[in-house]
Amino acid sequence: MLVPQTRLRWMLVGPYWVIVSFFLFAFYTGDSFCERPGSQSYPIMVLKLSLVLAAWDFVASFAGALASTAAEKVLGMRGISVLLTTVVVGAGFAYLPFWIYRGYGVFRFENTWADVSCFFTEGYGFAFLFFVTPALALMTFLREFFIFRSLRQRT
């Protein structure tokens, strides 16, 4: 049963990345920290951050699918992957502002090719935590629910 899930997850990772990119671009447009002269290109930074978020979502969705298979066999619970994946993805996204901030005004990857610290400077770290994370977790929930429903209709 994991094979149809795998195929569907691979098919949906690209659209998820595109939607996350558009969402981040729209949410952070006008951010003076990300659009300042002399910094990296704002659209490139959005694409980098959204790629990391989509990759985390993709890995967590496979973890949820594997846990779902185990829970289905042991506990007889169907659909636990929807909730489990959403919680793991949401927790990972919520922890990101704290992980990327090393302390004393220094961010991990600052002044490197992977620098996306402008998304977490000043109050934007809290904006990410309280607005972006729930929106992306909701997107994950809807995708997982779609996968669950489509696989349930096949069987």
Confidence at residue 11, expressed as pLDDT on a 0 to 100 scale: 87
Number of independent structural domains in the chain = 1
What pLDDT shows up at residue 67? 75
Report how far apart the first and last C-alpha atoms of the chain are (Å, whole number).
Answer: 10
Task: Give pLDDT tens digits along the chain (155 positions).
Answer: 555 677 788 888 999 999 999 999 988 887 777 776 666 788 888 999 999 999 999 998 888 777 777 777 777 777 777 888 888 899 999 988 877 777 676 677 777 777 787 787 766 667 888 999 999 999 999 998 888 888 777 66
**What residues make up the domain containing 93?**
2-154
How are the residues of the chain apportioned to helix, strand and coil, as percentages rounded to the nearest 5?
Answer: 75, 5, 20
The confidence score (pLDDT) of residue 155 equals: 62
CB 143 within 8 A of CB 12: yes
Residues 6+ apart with CB under 8 A from 83: none
Model pTM score: 0.83
Q: Give me the pLDDT at residue 37, please.
A: 66
pLDDT for the residue 99: 78
Sorted by sequence, the CB contacts under 8 Å of residue 22 that are 6+ apart come out as none
Per-residue pLDDT reduced to its tens digit, 115-127: 787 787 766 667 8
The position carrying tokens 């006008």 is 30
Give ∠ CA 59-120-36 in degrees, rounded to 5.
Answer: 120
Torsion on CA atoms 90, 93, 94, 96, rounded to nearest 10: 160
> Residue 100: which of 88, 110, 111 has the closest Cα?
110
Structure tokens, 107: 């961010």
Q: Which helix (H) or strand (E) holds 126?
A: helix 124-127
Written as six digits, the tokens of 110 are: 């600052």
